[in-house]
Structure 1
């Protein structure tokens, strides 16, 4: 049983208190694809809190059918330990936005590539202190620009960073260590 409280807040004994009448009305309504995409823009990568899964290019497809939302995501790395967290965050966000049912699947094909990262995502990575991967890879050394000073006088200290998708670099210009996202490109 719901009780009306101050400021139109509704609560039932033992339920989620603090929900407003608008929150209860949102649950179970039919969302549009555009609303789902806008909601997904709010879901941040659990390891890089300034970048959304949309900006990382992880969202491959969104389908809405009879109020049920189906979302297909591309993992940045198949062995990423954060996939369960990402799935839970997506399900929670879309349900809170009003979907009656949410299904999230991770696809292996097409594979995610680093060129899927949006310009906004690349800028947010830099602001977070992570160098984005190069747009174009050419044979030879991997040139990485320092996210702090913009210098290209950088060296890789360790191919293996704190996560599977990042490496550790050092900037000879500003003397700062930093992480860089590994480029993942499909050779043609």
Structure 2
């Protein structure tokens, strides 16, 4: 095989690995993939093996073990032997890494997507969060944590419905 053929083969392998990895869903929010969330950071070939890099939304995220296992299985099903899954904490995950498509999926699912970019305003509770059901911004935070630690529980004063808000971090 020539060097050119090896490069093409490596490119095709990476494309196949990305396709398999990007389809892995988040176990806590099954309408999102780990690519939608920005948890899937990189895929590359290291020492002849596929290595996928993931970053948790929180350092203690309980879903990360299942995400790593599902990612490994998806890569094996795509034909990659002994894929390596590497978890990195730095740089820390931010909602800025979420895709626009992922944010739209959250809203459609009934979870308010992060409002804007991560900033000091989010840290000090100065957020304006629109209700994913009626669109009103007449909302209030009920609890700092919702159904998972990466979400807060909010209520809409206009339609009186509670909803999760994916925190902007």
TM-score bracket for this pair, using the shorter chain length: 0.7 to 0.9
Q: 2:99 aligns with which of 98, 118, 136?
A: 118
Q: How is 1:123-142 mapped onto 2 (pairs within 5 angstroms)? A: 123-136=104-117, 137=119, 139=121, 141-142=126-127
Larger radius of gyration: 1
Residue equivalent to 1:150: 135
What are structure 2's unaligned runs of at least 5 residues?
Answer: 1-8
Query: SS at 1:32's partner residue?
Result: helix
Equivalent residue number for residue 3 of structure 2: none
Contact 1:67 1:101 in 2 (8 A): no
User: Which residue in the other structure is 1:82 paired with?
Assistant: 63
**1:13-92 equivalences in 2 (<5 Å):** 32-65=13-46, 68-92=49-73
Q: How many residues in Structure 1 have an aligned counterpart in Structure 2?
A: 156
Cα distance between partner residues in 2 of 1:49 and 1:120: 14
TM-score by length of 1: 0.78
- What CA RMSD, in Å, does the superposition of the two structures yield over aligned residues? 1.8
Counterpart residue number, 2:5: none
- Tell me, in whole angstroms, the C-alpha distance in 2 between the residues paired with 1:104 and 1:118: 22
The structural deviation recorded for 1:97 is: 0.9
Partners of 1:65 and 1:159 in 2: how far apart? 41
Q: CA deviation at 1:64?
A: 2.1
If each structure's helix is expressed as a fraction of its own residues, which one has the higher value? Answer: 2
- List runs of 5+ in structure 1 lacking aligned partners: 1-28
Structure 1 CA distance, aligned partners of 2:31 and 2:48?
30
What's the TM-score once normalised by structure 2's chain length? 0.86
